[in-house]
Each structure stands twice: as structure tokens, then as C-alpha cells.
Amino acid sequence: MSVTVRNLLKLPSLANATVIAGKEGLDKIVASVSVLETMEYELIDDHAYLNDEFNGSEIVITGFLNGAEDIDAQYNSVKRLALSGEAGLILYYVGVIVKKVDPSIIKLADELKFPIIVMPENQFNLRYSEAITDIMGLIIRDQISGEPMIVSLLESISKLPVHQQNVGTTIRLISNRLRSSVILTTDKNNTLYEAAWPSELAGIHTDIEDLNANDFKTNPISFPKMEDALVYKEDVNISGTKYNLYVVHVGGPLAGILLQQTVEGVRIALKLWGKDKGESVATEIVEAILTDQPVKMRSLSAMFNLDIESVDSMWVINDSTFSADDVHLVTNEAHKFCRTVCADLYKESIVLFTDNIKKKADVDALRANIETVLGKDVRISFFTNLKDTGEVRSAYLLNYDSWRDASRIMPDKEFFVRGDIEFASACRQIVEDGADSISDYLNLFDVIEDKKGNDDYIDTLCTFLLDSNSNVQMTSEKMFVHKNTIKYRIRSMSDCLGFTIGSMPESEKLFKACGVKRLLD
């Protein structure tokens, strides 16, 4: 759980406070607390709103002490704080310093969904320190025992203005969370981003740039410029480009899981806000779905306004030579039929997620369009009515393990549904269970061969069941044999087995016998 403005209202120091504006913003995440008394709002513009340096997600405490009667200054300060990504404002000494909050400020805060919390009015004995202690205590307890850092990180970024959703902001938020300085450099140790903790250490990157790979015979190493500080160095690789990530931490070793999540957070930021932003978003969401990380998936989709919750169908265009251009082509075709579409290359296949297509005719049409735009023979697996990321991952792994077997068992088929893949998986399991298991199924063929003594009958049986949907005419065309001959063979084999071939459930074992035979062949 991440701490929100709403959570703060339950603290003892804020128990008697009142939310007078911006109630729709009470679920904003609070990462820290800050005190502001200057009413020179241009400074806020220069140092927060228009600056790449981000210090947002703070709850700001003020009494408007040096602008108690300047409504314009109060108005513009609130506006700049909201636009710079701050979580809200706690206002002290109303009725004493500021006689009342002007209605224009309340209206502005409501429009910007920027919470303004007023402490008990007409009291001059209130102390900022009580709220600061309470708030920071709650935040630290949450960070120790709460959800993974990567989740709260994505949540925090998703609630920021678009202009602040970038790599620098991500690194600043990580720095605030770790209470550590975080520096990202190129492979040659040229600094790209620095987030110093505390802020007076700004410029610490110059000392980091003096380090080299030979210094890290162990990881971490002692930081020569600061007593009791450790420097961790981690590699971040994005599409063949290597970055160095340094974390300078004071106060003992940093937990390994926090370092892992720091690397993951920076890696995601570099991909999301690189030059191919749209592709990277899809990449991260697809990976989150297929690795069953629902919280990460929801956070990313909320950040980029993608209704991923409506997705219940997965298309896997299996194992061929695909490019990013092919993904674009497939995505464009899917948009013709679906409102929500997310696709990417994953383990040499194109994985496409869509919301439900109600009509089978539309499924067939999209499949045909995909085959056309790719301009090559492809085998597509289609899974629908998937309820959650767990089901999606299970379906993906099932397909990954079994689509090649499905292709061997049903070589004429280019579009597989879940039943086809599950059937192939069941046949493979029979083979892997060993000789006794295989014989139990192939004995059915012995019954036919003992009475007919002709391999053409077994070939006819496999073609009839696996390739022709138990259709005599189709079997005839595939085998170049007159349909009356096919009828005779099917009838004769039915007599041998004692049931009508193709009828269910009697033919279930026979279907699997044919599948096993083709796997063995």
C-alpha cells in the first residue's frame, strides 16, 4: 500500500483538520512532506514546474505567513504547486494569519483536484513538527512493510502531469524512496541523471564519474568522499545499450530486493520515455501480463489510459521471423475489430491482446487480415475468455510448449484454438509417459490392422479425424480417393472397433491414438 492524502487524515495530528477543497485528489500518493512559506510563485515556476528536477508527490505545509493578505500570490502558489505534481496543501493558522481562504482558491483547487486541508481554525499554538513527524513516520512504516517499490513508483508517476513523466522524475522518486543518491551514466561514465539525497549533495555525480570498473572488485564499495557511505553499481541494458546505475547509501547495506527493484524501475523508465514510447509501453504491459504481474500491468495501463481490464483474448502468431513493423501491421488490423489492443514481440512470436470479439465471423476476418498483411504462411493460436493474468500466463505457456506438436498432429491447420493446443499437449503427455501408455492407445490400430491388414485404412482414419473434421468429402479430396471408398473404409473400421468413428465420447481415445501416431511418425 502507498500512503495517500486520505491516509494522512487519520493521523492524530490531522484528526481535527478539514478538507475544504480538492476532495477528488485525496487518493494522490504522498512520498514526503515539505514546508513552504515564500509567496514568490515565480520561484516555484522556475524551480519546480518548469524545471526537469522533480520533487513532487509531497504534502506541503504552509501558513502563508509572508502573504497573508495577498490573494493573488496565494492563488498562483496553489496553482503552481498543483501543476508541479505536489500531493496537496496543509494550511495552518486560518483565522489568525490568513483570515479566510478565498473562494477563488477553493474553486481552483477543486478544478485541479488538489486537496487543501485546513488545520483547526483560530489556533496559534499548532506546530508544524507534529504533522511532519506523524506523516514521515507513516511513510517510513509503509515503505518498510508495504507493497514492492516498483508498484508504488508506477502509481506515483501515473498520477503526475504528462510533462513530468520521464526518466529524471523516476530517478528522483527512487532516490526519495531509498533515501539515497541515485546517478545514471552512460557506459563511459558520463552522467545523464542525478538525484542527490539529501539535496545539498547535488553534484555528487562528479565524484562518481571518477570511479571505474576496476574499483568495483566487490559490490558495494566504500565511497571515498563520504564517511560510512557505500556505492552500489548495477548495469542497466536497453536494446543493446548499456547504462551504469550508481546508488550511494549511508546507514548500512541496502537490501538486495530494493536494488533489484531500482534497476527494474530505471529500466522501465528508459524504455517508456525513450524515442519509441508507444512500442515500449506495449512491451512492458505484454511482459507484465505474461509474467503474471497484475499490479504492474494495471499501473502501466492506467498511466497510459489503456483499458487493459477489458482484455480477455490472446493471439499468438507463432515462431517466425517477425519485426517491429510486423507488430504495427498486426496492431492496426486488430484496431479495426477491437477497442483495446496491445501487441509486442515476445520470444520470437507476436503476442496480441484484444478485448472480446463477439462474433466468430469477426475472429475469422481478423485472422485472415493478419495473414494477409504479414504476407507469409503463419500459424496462429487463439485463446479467449481469459479471466486474469494467471490464466493468460497458463495459456501462453501451454501454447509455447505445444503449438509445434499441434502443427505435427494437424499439419494442414494454420489456426489453433485452445482445444487444439490442449489436445496436442495431452498427446505429448501420452508419449512422455512411456511405452505402456503409448501401447494402450496404439492397440486400437492393431485391432484394425489385424482385420484389414492395410496401412491405407490407418491413414484414412487419421485424415478423417484430424484433418477433415470427420467429413467424408473433405477426406476424399485430401487423399485423392473416391468418397465411396472413404465411406467403405470408415464403415469397415467402425465395425472392427464396435462404435461409429467420429461419434463422441467413444472416439476420444481414437483421436488421441491418431495424434500420438503422428507425433511418433
pLDDT for the residue 183: 92
Query: Residue 254 gets which letter from DSSP?
Result: P
CB atoms within 10 A of CB 474: 16
Mean pLDDT of 214-218: 83
Mean pLDDT on 100-125:
93
Gap between the Cα atoms of 507 and 345, Å rounded: 39
Task: Supply angle C-alpha 228, 230, 231, rounded to 5.
Answer: 150
Whether the pLDDT of residue 280 is over 70: the answer is no
3-state secondary structure of 113: coil
Residues 121-148 pLDDT 10s? 999 889 999 999 999 888 888 766 655 6
Q: Is 347 exposed, middle or buried (0-12, 13-18, 19+ CB in 10 A)?
A: exposed
Contacts of 421 (CB under 8 A, 6+ apart): 381, 398, 399, 402, 403, 406
d(CA 479, CA 153): 61
The distance between the two most distant Cα atoms of the chain, rounded to a whole number of Å, is 106
Q: DSSP letters of 344-396?
A: EEETTEEEEEEEPP--HHHHHHHHHHHHHHHTS---EEEE----SHHHHHHHH
Q: What is the DSSP letter of 333?
A: H
The pLDDT of residue 384 is 92
Share of the chain above pLDDT 70, in %: 90
Who's near 221: CB < 8 A, 6+ residues apart? Answer: 215, 230, 231
- Looking at 185-199, 211-225, 229-243, 294-308, which range is the least confident one? 294-308
Which conformational region is residue 90 in: left (phi greater than 0), alpha (psi within -120 to 50 degrees), or beta?
Answer: beta
User: HSE-up of 17 (CA within 13 Å, CB side)?
Assistant: 27
Q: What is the mean pLDDT of residues 490-518?
A: 90
How sure is the predictor about 159, in pLDDT bands with cuts at 50, 70 and 90?
Answer: low
Per-residue pLDDT, 3: 84
pLDDT surpasses 70 at 296: no
pLDDT of residue 49: 41
pLDDT digits (tens, 9 = 90+) for 13-51: 998 999 999 999 998 888 788 888 765 655 544 444 434
Residue 497: CB partners within 8 Å, gap ≥ 6? 444, 447, 448, 510
Q: What is the pTM for the complete model shown?
A: 0.56
At 350 the pLDDT is 92
Q: What does the pLDDT look like over 392-436, one tens digit per residue? A: 888 999 999 999 999 999 999 999 999 999 999 999 999 999 999
